[in-house]
Amino acid sequence: MNEKDTHKYDDIIHLPHHVSAKHPRMSLMNRAAQFSPFAALTGHSAAIQETARLTDAFIELNEDQKEQLDEQLQKLRGALSRNPEAEFTYFQPDQRKSGGTYVTVRGTVKKIDEYRRRILLMDGTMIPMEMLFSILQAGESS
């Protein structure tokens, strides 16, 4: 700065700071928010991750596979009084996009609900029969 500039504001430099009667003073938090980074693509990263998440397609069983599954269900029905243990693989549809994933659970069968078409395990797991892929009872080999 040169000497001319230092004298330029001499007449106002010592005046009190103006306070508006119309507009209340902005808090320091709100003032700071004005300068925070702007996120124009809020949620974009999450959307990309969701799109990239892979799902499996539901596999339609052929007649032989359906017959084997029915035989396994009959064995389970016959053994319900002995609380049979089995391993179930079934398709779990994805809630957000087409497809889903195959889940394998092992547990003790509590009930086979024919009306609702599901298998209930002692731990509370419910397996929809129309989504079953395989059943392996304890003591059997694949």
- In the chain (142 residues long), the average pLDDT of successive 10-residue segments reads 69 85 85 72 74 81 94 93 94 87 94 94 95 87 56
- Output the pLDDT for position 56: 84
In this prediction, residue 129 carries a pLDDT of 94
Give the per-residue pLDDT at 58: 87
Cβ atoms of 90 and 103 closer than 8 Å: yes
Calculate the dihedral angle through the C-alpha atoms of 50, 95, 120, 140, rounding to the nearest 10 degrees: -50
109 burial via Cβ count (<10 Å: 0-12, 13-18, 19+): buried
Contact 100, 55 (CB under 8 A): yes
DSSP letter at 130 equals G
User: Please, what is the Cα angle at 104 between 102 and 105, to 5 degrees?
Assistant: 140
Contacts of 96 (CB under 8 A, 6+ apart): 50
